[in-house]
Amino acid sequence: MTSTSSTTAPTRSGTALLAVLMAAVIATVAASDMVVLMLPEIGTEFGASEAELAWVVTGFLLVFSVGIPLYGRLSDRVSLRRLFAFALLTYAAGNLVCALSPTLVVLVAGRILTGVGAAAIPVLSVIAVTRLLPANRRAVGIGVLSAGSGIGTAAGPAVGGVVGELFGWPALFWSVLVLSLLLLPAALRVLPDEVPAGQGRLDLPGGILLGAGAGLVLFGMTQAQVSGFSTPLSWGSLVVAVSALALFGWRTARVDQPFVPPVLFADRVYRNSLLIAFLAMVVNLGGLVFVPLLVVEVNGLTPGEGALVMIPAGVSVALLSPLMGRLADRVGTRATVFVGLVLVGLSSLLLSTLTDGSSVIPAGAGVLGLSVGFVLVITTVVGAVAGGLPAERAGSGIGILQGAQFLGAGTGPAVFGVLASARQQGDSGAVNPFFSGHDGAAYSDVFLAMTGIVVLLLFVAARLRPAERPTGARARETSDAGSR
């Protein structure tokens, strides 16, 4: 408690802290998908197959999803400044390798190294806001980080398509390399070097089992997107993943100091928040991947033109996210999550119904509503969890939550990719009876499946406490009561 108060005393640095963290989150989250629209060009240059090209994205996402919970746990024992510096340097080194890659193997290795560094940024940023900002500013701080994540997610394919088309795919990695090196001295300035008092020993075997399970789930899903679930590599990875996660659960129940404290899952709000974060990200990233593909394949746009459809969503998320933190602070968790999910569901239903190739406006409107609704949901959920966790469990709790979120980012496009492929091969009409087109029927079914997931999430959100509000609201009420 003493160290927290000492670091939050100089509130003049709060704006600088959020500026650095937001920029870092945008850069690292955007890196996840910025090469998606340039994969055909990379494949042509290196003579690679579709399955080989998938590793450019899969390699990054594998270590990204595995690393997030580990960094969250390490933040309970290593200073934020040192972890952030290591992450940015590793991230820069990975982008340098990617930019200079002479072969696809070197490019994939660079992307894996990039993911090692990038995995730290989202989780450490939330932990930094939770520890370093006063309680009455945390909701806004988390809203700013959510804006960065939303902008990065939406801007990744957009920026990648435009920059890659104009300057070639290596320019993507050079630009991110420069940004990460510029962020390094700024991060060293705003982050403290205080070492937290770690709680007991680190359960490394438990962390390895959790990371292996999460990574193999993601690997199996991405392989299924390329080759289908029937291939041994796809279903075999999923079987091993389930086994690793089962062993992780067995170990968690039997060791004295497990990697993830079981008490976290005794909280109904935390359990439901994990499910909401995972499935909401499945829908969100599925939409952000399939809308650009839709406007390129069905509407006939170029990758650069298709990227422009995503710009209104990114701008709106940037402008509205800080306000979303204040809304959740005032209204409460359950009501705010409901509003966000309804907006996501209506937007995915709009995409399922009207994206028939006659106009790109419904696609732009749909991804706009989907992005804004998702950020409203994730800002509220992360704020409620971060505000409700005790200091000794904040690192592991937030790390698991962020890991679930980005595991959803890898799972969504893979699952919906398998569905789209199956529907295209079937050559049948869309399930949605209000869809009047033909060429985009498979995309209509994908967006309709997203709507079904949102309906499920509404039932999960109903189990959140109606009166639960983030720490900022409770802190202001306590302060007001004391002043009276």
What is the average per-residue pLDDT within 300-308?
Answer: 72
Most confident of 56-60, 318-322, 340-344: 340-344
Q: How many CB atoms lie within 10 A of CB 427?
A: 9
> What pLDDT is recorded for position 471?
44
Phi, psi dihedrals of residue 265, rounded to the nearest 5° = -85, -5
Per the prediction, the chain carries an average pLDDT of 78
Q: Within 13 Å and on the Cβ side, how many CA atoms surround 363? A: 29
Report field, pTM of the whole predicted structure over 0.85: no
H or E stretch including 401?
Answer: helix 391-426
Q: Mind giving me the DSSP string for 325-387?
A: HHHHHHH-HHHHHHHHHHHHHHHHHHHHHH-SSS-SHHHHHHHHHHHHHHHHHHHHHHHHHHH
Alpha carbon distances (Å) from 292 to 76, 189, 227, 332: 40, 38, 22, 34
Query: Above 80 in pLDDT, residue 11?
Result: no
Q: Mind giving me the DSSP string for 298-315?
A: TS---HHHHHHTTHHHHH
User: pLDDT of 41-93, one tens digit each?
Assistant: 787 888 776 667 777 877 787 787 778 888 887 887 788 888 999 999 999 99
pLDDT-based confidence at residue 480 (cuts at 50, 70, 90): very low
User: pLDDT of 367-419, one tens digit each?
Assistant: 889 988 988 888 888 877 877 777 667 777 888 887 788 778 777 877 887 78
User: pLDDT of 176-189, one tens digit each?
Assistant: 888 889 989 988 88
User: Do the beta carbons of residue 405 and residue 393 sit within 8 Å?
Assistant: no
Query: Above 70 in pLDDT, residue 215?
Result: yes
